[in-house]
């Protein structure tokens, strides 16, 4: 079986057994996801590229600590999340929302409006209390489940659900009366 058809856990076992070149498969599978996490922390491509490299170095160096109790991708995401928190000193003032807000229309006017909405969402999410912002980013922007977020942050699932609900309410209140009010993704 070639490496492309192996599970992450099988690749990790191979790397731990000395076939370290196989770690490139992990890098190839997750570099976009880790870069996306970096963008959420730094809002800067150069810093996010550096962050991505640092995360994979940290993951490789601490690979033996992966116990296999949860899927490898959760462990890697937690490494990235913790590294981002450590690099930013746990205080961030801005956040990033998805580059594209879905629309069947692609005129210059609609692209401009979507850009304005994205900027408003970015500012509003960035202004949320950190515990809410973290849950919103991991849930909506990174597509993680409540259970996955719990494994990464250490928050209980019910706390995560509550934080997401409160954040949505705060965002709706903040965006009320703006063009972003009708954007119902949050």
Q: What is the CATH number of domain 108-182?
A: 1.10.10.10
The pLDDT, as a whole number, for residue 53 is 96
Q: Is 123 left (phi over 0), alpha (psi -120 to 50) or beta?
A: alpha
What is the DSSP secondary structure assignment for residue 60, as one 8-state letter?
Answer: H
> What residues does each domain of the chain span?
3-88, 108-182
Class of the CATH domain delimited by 3-88: mainly alpha
- Count the Cβ atoms, other than its own, within 10 Å of residue 114: 19
Report pLDDT digits (tens) over 66-96.
888 778 888 898 888 888 878 876 444 344 4
State the average pLDDT over residues 37-61: 90
């Amino acid at each position: 079986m070639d490496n492309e058809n192996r599970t992450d856990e099988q690749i990790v076992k191979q790397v731990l057994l000395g076939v370290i070149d196989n770690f490139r498969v992990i890098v190839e599978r997750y570099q976009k996801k880790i870069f996306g996490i970096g963008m959420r922390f730094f809002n800067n491509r150069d810093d996010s590229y550096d962050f991505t490299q640092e995360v994979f170095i940290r993951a490789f160096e601490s690979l033996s600590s992966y116990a296999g109790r949860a899927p490898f991708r959760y462990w890697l995401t937690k490494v990235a999340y913790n590294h981002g928190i450590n690099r930013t000193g746990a205080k961030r003032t801005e956040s990033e929302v998805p580059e594209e807000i879905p629309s069947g229309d692609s005129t210059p006017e609609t692209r401009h409006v979507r850009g304005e909405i994205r900027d408003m969402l970015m500012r509003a999410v960035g202004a949320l209390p950190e515990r809410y912002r973290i849950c919103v980013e991991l849930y909506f922007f990174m597509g993680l489940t409540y259970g996955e977020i719990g494994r990464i942050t250490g928050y209980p699932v019910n706390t995560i659900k509550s934080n997401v609900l409160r954040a949505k309410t705060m965002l709706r209140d903040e965006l009320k009366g703006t063009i972003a009010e009708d954007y119902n993704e949050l």
